[in-house]
Amino acid sequence: MKKNFYLMALAAAITATPTMGQDVVEDNLDVVVEQTTATFDDIEIGESGYYNGSDLEGSFKSGAYQFEVNYNSKYGSWSGFAVSEKTETNFVDYTESQYNSCVGSGYNNSSNYVVAYPNTYGIEPGQSEKITASDGSAFDAKGFFITNSAWNVDSYLNGDGQTGTAGDGQSFTGTDPFRTGDWFKITAYGVHEDNSVATVDFYLADYRSENEEDHYYVSNWQWFDLTSLGTVKEVSFWTSSSRNNSWGMTTPGYFCMDNFNDGDFTPTAISSMKNSTKEAVVVARYTLDGRKIAAPQHGINIVKMSDGSTRKVMVK
Protein backbone atom coordinates (compact mmCIF):
# COMPACT_ATOMS: atom_id res chain seq x y z
CA MET A 1 0.00 0.00 0.00
CA LYS A 2 2.77 2.42 0.95
CA LYS A 3 4.58 1.56 -2.31
CA ASN A 4 1.48 2.32 -4.41
CA PHE A 5 0.94 5.60 -2.58
CA TYR A 6 4.56 6.61 -3.22
CA LEU A 7 4.27 5.87 -6.94
CA MET A 8 1.03 7.84 -7.21
CA ALA A 9 2.58 10.80 -5.40
CA LEU A 10 5.64 10.68 -7.66
CA ALA A 11 3.48 10.61 -10.79
CA ALA A 12 1.46 13.56 -9.50
CA ALA A 13 4.63 15.53 -8.80
CA ILE A 14 5.93 14.90 -12.33
CA THR A 15 2.69 15.94 -14.05
CA ALA A 16 1.89 18.87 -11.77
CA THR A 17 1.66 22.37 -13.25
CA PRO A 18 4.95 24.27 -12.68
CA THR A 19 4.87 27.06 -10.11
CA MET A 20 6.34 30.54 -10.60
CA GLY A 21 10.10 30.39 -11.19
CA GLN A 22 10.14 26.87 -12.63
CA ASP A 23 11.21 26.21 -16.25
CA VAL A 24 8.39 25.21 -18.57
CA VAL A 25 9.39 22.82 -21.39
CA GLU A 26 7.19 23.15 -24.47
CA ASP A 27 6.70 20.16 -26.79
CA ASN A 28 7.76 22.17 -29.86
CA LEU A 29 11.18 23.16 -28.50
CA ASP A 30 14.33 21.52 -29.92
CA VAL A 31 15.72 18.86 -27.60
CA VAL A 32 19.45 18.98 -26.86
CA VAL A 33 21.00 15.68 -25.84
CA GLU A 34 22.80 15.38 -22.50
CA GLN A 35 26.56 15.81 -22.94
CA THR A 36 27.84 12.28 -22.29
CA THR A 37 31.45 11.98 -23.42
CA ALA A 38 32.43 9.34 -26.00
CA THR A 39 35.61 7.87 -24.49
CA PHE A 40 35.61 4.72 -26.71
CA ASP A 41 36.68 2.63 -23.72
CA ASP A 42 33.18 1.11 -23.86
CA ILE A 43 33.93 -0.48 -27.26
CA GLU A 44 34.79 -4.19 -27.27
CA ILE A 45 37.98 -4.83 -29.26
CA GLY A 46 39.20 -8.26 -30.29
CA GLU A 47 42.67 -9.74 -30.53
CA SER A 48 43.50 -7.66 -33.61
CA GLY A 49 43.77 -4.55 -31.43
CA TYR A 50 41.24 -2.57 -33.47
CA TYR A 51 37.63 -2.45 -34.63
CA ASN A 52 37.12 -1.26 -38.23
CA GLY A 53 33.49 -2.13 -38.95
CA SER A 54 34.19 -5.58 -40.40
CA ASP A 55 30.99 -6.82 -38.70
CA LEU A 56 29.14 -4.64 -41.27
CA GLU A 57 27.06 -2.93 -38.60
CA GLY A 58 27.81 0.41 -40.25
CA SER A 59 28.32 2.32 -37.01
CA PHE A 60 29.10 2.01 -33.32
CA LYS A 61 28.04 3.88 -30.21
CA SER A 62 30.16 5.40 -27.46
CA GLY A 63 28.77 7.64 -24.74
CA ALA A 64 25.78 9.49 -26.18
CA TYR A 65 27.04 9.45 -29.78
CA GLN A 66 26.95 7.31 -32.90
CA PHE A 67 29.98 7.01 -35.23
CA GLU A 68 29.69 5.79 -38.83
CA VAL A 69 32.18 3.33 -40.30
CA ASN A 70 32.00 1.87 -43.79
CA TYR A 71 33.71 -1.47 -44.40
CA ASN A 72 34.30 -2.96 -47.85
CA SER A 73 34.40 -6.75 -47.52
CA LYS A 74 35.70 -7.22 -51.08
CA TYR A 75 38.87 -5.20 -50.49
CA GLY A 76 39.06 -5.34 -46.68
CA SER A 77 39.13 -1.53 -46.60
CA TRP A 78 37.22 0.94 -44.45
CA SER A 79 36.51 4.63 -44.01
CA GLY A 80 35.00 6.74 -41.25
CA PHE A 81 35.79 5.93 -37.63
CA ALA A 82 37.67 2.88 -36.34
CA VAL A 83 38.56 2.16 -32.71
CA SER A 84 42.11 1.15 -31.75
CA GLU A 85 43.96 0.06 -28.64
CA LYS A 86 47.30 -0.38 -30.41
CA THR A 87 50.33 0.97 -28.55
CA GLU A 88 52.84 0.97 -31.42
CA THR A 89 53.84 4.47 -32.56
CA ASN A 90 55.78 3.54 -35.71
CA PHE A 91 54.68 2.96 -39.29
CA VAL A 92 55.77 -0.33 -40.87
CA ASP A 93 53.07 -1.18 -43.40
CA TYR A 94 49.56 -0.12 -44.36
CA THR A 95 47.77 -3.27 -43.19
CA GLU A 96 48.39 -2.94 -39.45
CA SER A 97 50.16 0.40 -38.93
CA GLN A 98 47.17 2.45 -40.14
CA TYR A 99 45.66 1.85 -36.68
CA ASN A 100 48.72 3.26 -34.82
CA SER A 101 48.71 6.71 -33.26
CA CYS A 102 51.86 8.77 -32.74
CA VAL A 103 51.19 8.72 -28.97
CA GLY A 104 50.65 5.00 -28.29
CA SER A 105 47.58 5.40 -26.08
CA GLY A 106 44.39 7.36 -25.77
CA TYR A 107 44.11 10.72 -24.05
CA ASN A 108 45.40 10.64 -20.47
CA ASN A 109 46.84 7.13 -21.08
CA SER A 110 43.44 5.55 -21.70
CA SER A 111 43.42 2.32 -23.69
CA ASN A 112 41.01 3.03 -26.56
CA TYR A 113 40.94 5.85 -29.09
CA VAL A 114 39.53 6.46 -32.56
CA VAL A 115 41.51 6.41 -35.77
CA ALA A 116 39.52 8.47 -38.26
CA TYR A 117 39.83 8.14 -42.03
CA PRO A 118 37.08 10.28 -43.60
CA ASN A 119 36.03 9.29 -47.11
CA THR A 120 36.93 12.15 -49.48
CA TYR A 121 36.66 10.27 -52.77
CA GLY A 122 33.94 11.34 -55.20
CA ILE A 123 31.96 13.35 -52.64
CA GLU A 124 31.75 16.97 -51.52
CA PRO A 125 33.17 18.22 -48.20
CA GLY A 126 30.66 17.73 -45.41
CA GLN A 127 29.32 14.47 -46.86
CA SER A 128 31.79 12.04 -45.29
CA GLU A 129 30.95 9.70 -42.39
CA LYS A 130 28.94 11.36 -39.62
CA ILE A 131 28.89 11.66 -35.86
CA THR A 132 25.38 12.06 -34.49
CA ALA A 133 23.64 11.80 -31.14
CA SER A 134 22.60 8.17 -30.72
CA ASP A 135 18.99 9.23 -30.05
CA GLY A 136 18.86 11.57 -33.05
CA SER A 137 18.73 14.77 -31.00
CA ALA A 138 20.65 17.96 -31.67
CA PHE A 139 23.66 18.55 -29.43
CA ASP A 140 26.03 21.35 -28.51
CA ALA A 141 29.39 20.81 -30.19
CA LYS A 142 32.16 21.11 -27.61
CA GLY A 143 35.29 19.46 -29.02
CA PHE A 144 37.62 16.50 -28.60
CA PHE A 145 41.26 15.57 -28.21
CA ILE A 146 43.17 15.11 -31.45
CA THR A 147 46.61 13.90 -32.53
CA ASN A 148 48.41 12.52 -35.57
CA SER A 149 48.43 8.94 -36.75
CA ALA A 150 51.81 7.20 -36.89
CA TRP A 151 51.50 7.00 -40.68
CA ASN A 152 51.02 10.76 -40.99
CA VAL A 153 54.08 11.54 -38.89
CA ASP A 154 56.14 9.13 -40.97
CA SER A 155 55.03 10.92 -44.14
CA TYR A 156 55.87 14.37 -42.72
CA LEU A 157 59.40 13.23 -41.84
CA ASN A 158 60.23 10.65 -44.51
CA GLY A 159 57.96 11.36 -47.47
CA ASP A 160 54.73 9.64 -48.46
CA GLY A 161 56.09 7.37 -51.19
CA GLN A 162 54.41 9.34 -53.98
CA THR A 163 55.22 12.25 -56.28
CA GLY A 164 53.34 15.46 -56.90
CA THR A 165 53.32 19.17 -56.13
CA ALA A 166 54.15 20.49 -52.64
CA GLY A 167 53.11 23.63 -50.78
CA ASP A 168 55.89 25.69 -52.33
CA GLY A 169 54.55 24.95 -55.81
CA GLN A 170 57.52 22.72 -56.61
CA SER A 171 57.48 18.99 -57.27
CA PHE A 172 58.41 16.43 -54.61
CA THR A 173 59.56 12.82 -54.70
CA GLY A 174 58.43 9.88 -52.59
CA THR A 175 61.20 10.40 -50.00
CA ASP A 176 60.95 14.19 -49.63
CA PRO A 177 59.82 15.21 -46.12
CA PHE A 178 57.55 18.20 -45.46
CA ARG A 179 59.26 21.53 -46.17
CA THR A 180 58.41 25.23 -46.04
CA GLY A 181 54.91 25.77 -47.46
CA ASP A 182 53.54 22.34 -46.55
CA TRP A 183 50.59 21.64 -44.26
CA PHE A 184 47.98 19.03 -43.30
CA LYS A 185 44.69 20.01 -41.70
CA ILE A 186 41.36 18.68 -40.49
CA THR A 187 38.15 20.60 -41.20
CA ALA A 188 35.11 19.88 -39.01
CA TYR A 189 31.66 20.42 -40.55
CA GLY A 190 28.70 21.02 -38.24
CA VAL A 191 25.22 20.77 -39.78
CA HIS A 192 22.46 22.67 -37.99
CA GLU A 193 18.76 21.80 -37.78
CA ASP A 194 18.02 24.22 -40.66
CA ASN A 195 20.77 22.47 -42.71
CA SER A 196 23.09 25.47 -42.58
CA VAL A 197 26.75 24.52 -42.13
CA ALA A 198 29.59 25.87 -39.98
CA THR A 199 33.23 24.82 -40.24
CA VAL A 200 36.41 25.05 -38.17
CA ASP A 201 39.99 23.98 -39.02
CA PHE A 202 42.80 22.31 -37.08
CA TYR A 203 46.36 21.98 -38.46
CA LEU A 204 48.03 18.70 -37.53
CA ALA A 205 51.17 19.79 -39.41
CA ASP A 206 52.02 23.39 -40.29
CA TYR A 207 55.19 24.28 -42.19
CA ARG A 208 53.78 27.39 -43.90
CA SER A 209 55.99 29.90 -42.10
CA GLU A 210 59.20 31.11 -43.75
CA ASN A 211 60.80 30.71 -40.31
CA GLU A 212 61.72 27.03 -39.87
CA GLU A 213 61.53 27.37 -36.07
CA ASP A 214 57.77 27.85 -36.43
CA HIS A 215 57.30 24.55 -38.28
CA TYR A 216 55.57 21.86 -36.26
CA TYR A 217 53.48 18.72 -36.31
CA VAL A 218 51.30 17.60 -33.39
CA SER A 219 52.75 14.65 -31.47
CA ASN A 220 50.60 14.68 -28.33
CA TRP A 221 46.90 14.93 -27.52
CA GLN A 222 45.60 18.47 -28.05
CA TRP A 223 42.13 19.99 -27.78
CA PHE A 224 40.18 20.65 -31.00
CA ASP A 225 37.60 23.28 -30.00
CA LEU A 226 34.28 22.80 -31.85
CA THR A 227 32.19 25.32 -29.89
CA SER A 228 32.06 27.69 -32.87
CA LEU A 229 29.92 25.10 -34.70
CA GLY A 230 27.08 25.74 -32.23
CA THR A 231 24.16 23.33 -31.78
CA VAL A 232 24.31 20.69 -34.50
CA LYS A 233 22.54 17.55 -35.65
CA GLU A 234 25.72 16.01 -37.08
CA VAL A 235 29.48 16.51 -37.37
CA SER A 236 31.73 15.23 -40.16
CA PHE A 237 35.35 15.82 -41.17
CA TRP A 238 37.44 16.55 -44.24
CA THR A 239 41.20 16.13 -44.59
CA SER A 240 43.36 18.25 -46.90
CA SER A 241 47.05 18.81 -47.54
CA SER A 242 49.48 20.97 -49.49
CA ARG A 243 50.78 17.81 -51.18
CA ASN A 244 48.71 16.61 -54.12
CA ASN A 245 48.99 15.00 -57.53
CA SER A 246 46.55 14.25 -60.35
CA TRP A 247 44.87 11.57 -58.19
CA GLY A 248 44.33 13.91 -55.23
CA MET A 249 45.98 14.31 -51.82
CA THR A 250 49.11 12.22 -51.29
CA THR A 251 49.43 12.77 -47.52
CA PRO A 252 47.72 9.97 -45.54
CA GLY A 253 44.21 11.21 -44.66
CA TYR A 254 44.14 10.01 -41.05
CA PHE A 255 43.81 11.58 -37.62
CA CYS A 256 43.23 10.25 -34.10
CA MET A 257 40.42 11.26 -31.74
CA ASP A 258 39.55 10.73 -28.09
CA ASN A 259 36.94 11.98 -25.60
CA PHE A 260 34.51 13.38 -28.15
CA ASN A 261 32.38 16.18 -26.67
CA ASP A 262 34.13 15.97 -23.31
CA GLY A 263 31.78 17.81 -20.95
CA ASP A 264 34.34 17.88 -18.13
CA PHE A 265 37.17 19.55 -20.06
CA THR A 266 37.62 23.32 -19.90
CA PRO A 267 39.54 24.46 -23.00
CA THR A 268 40.09 27.97 -21.62
CA ALA A 269 42.48 26.50 -19.05
CA ILE A 270 44.98 25.70 -21.81
CA SER A 271 43.59 27.78 -24.67
CA SER A 272 47.06 28.64 -25.97
CA MET A 273 48.32 25.04 -25.88
CA LYS A 274 48.30 24.51 -29.64
CA ASN A 275 50.20 27.71 -30.44
CA SER A 276 52.64 27.57 -27.54
CA THR A 277 53.83 23.99 -27.88
CA LYS A 278 55.72 23.71 -31.13
CA GLU A 279 56.91 20.21 -31.80
CA ALA A 280 60.60 19.69 -32.56
CA VAL A 281 61.03 18.92 -36.25
CA VAL A 282 63.92 17.78 -38.44
CA VAL A 283 66.12 20.64 -39.68
CA ALA A 284 69.11 18.64 -40.95
CA ARG A 285 70.08 15.04 -41.59
CA TYR A 286 73.52 13.38 -41.76
CA THR A 287 75.10 9.99 -42.37
CA LEU A 288 77.18 8.31 -39.65
CA ASP A 289 80.37 9.71 -41.20
CA GLY A 290 79.04 13.29 -40.96
CA ARG A 291 77.94 13.80 -44.58
CA LYS A 292 74.82 15.98 -44.88
CA ILE A 293 71.99 14.39 -46.87
CA ALA A 294 68.83 15.99 -48.27
CA ALA A 295 66.46 13.05 -47.66
CA PRO A 296 66.26 9.94 -45.44
CA GLN A 297 68.80 7.28 -46.40
CA HIS A 298 68.60 3.58 -45.62
CA GLY A 299 70.46 2.70 -42.44
CA ILE A 300 71.23 4.91 -39.45
CA ASN A 301 70.68 8.66 -39.96
CA ILE A 302 71.89 11.35 -37.55
CA VAL A 303 69.01 13.82 -37.31
CA LYS A 304 69.30 17.38 -36.00
CA MET A 305 66.06 18.73 -34.53
CA SER A 306 64.74 22.30 -34.36
CA ASP A 307 65.11 22.30 -30.53
CA GLY A 308 68.88 21.73 -30.88
CA SER A 309 68.84 18.03 -30.01
CA THR A 310 70.20 15.24 -32.21
CA ARG A 311 68.83 11.75 -32.68
CA LYS A 312 69.90 8.48 -34.26
CA VAL A 313 67.13 7.23 -36.54
CA MET A 314 66.99 3.87 -38.29
CA VAL A 315 65.52 4.22 -41.79
CA LYS A 316 64.33 0.94 -43.30
pLDDT tens sequence for the chain (316 residues): 433 433 344 344 333 434 333 333 334 334 444 458 999 999 989 899 999 999 999 999 999 999 999 999 999 999 999 999 999 999 998 888 999 999 999 999 999 999 999 998 888 888 899 999 999 999 999 999 999 999 999 999 999 999 999 999 999 999 999 999 999 999 999 999 999 999 999 999 999 999 999 999 999 999 999 999 999 999 999 999 999 999 999 999 999 999 999 977 766 544 334 433 455 556 667 776 667 776 677 777 777 665 555 666 766 6
For residue 56, the tally of other CB atoms under 10 A from its CB is: 10
N- to C-terminal Cα distance for the chain? 78
Q: In whole angstroms, what is the distance from residue 183 CA to residue 169 CA?
A: 13
Q: Is 27 exposed, middle or buried (0-12, 13-18, 19+ CB in 10 A)?
A: exposed
Residue 108 carries which side chain, given as an amino acid letter? N
- Decide if 59 contacts 129 (C-beta within 8 A): no
Helical (H) or strand (E) element with 116: strand 113-117
| C-alpha Rg value of the chain to the nearest Å | 23
User: pTM for this structure?
Assistant: 0.75
Residue 161: CB atoms within 10 A of its CB come to 12
According to DSSP, the residues that pair with 303 across neighbouring strands are: 285, 311
In whole angstroms, give the CA distance from residue 114 to residue 255. Answer: 8
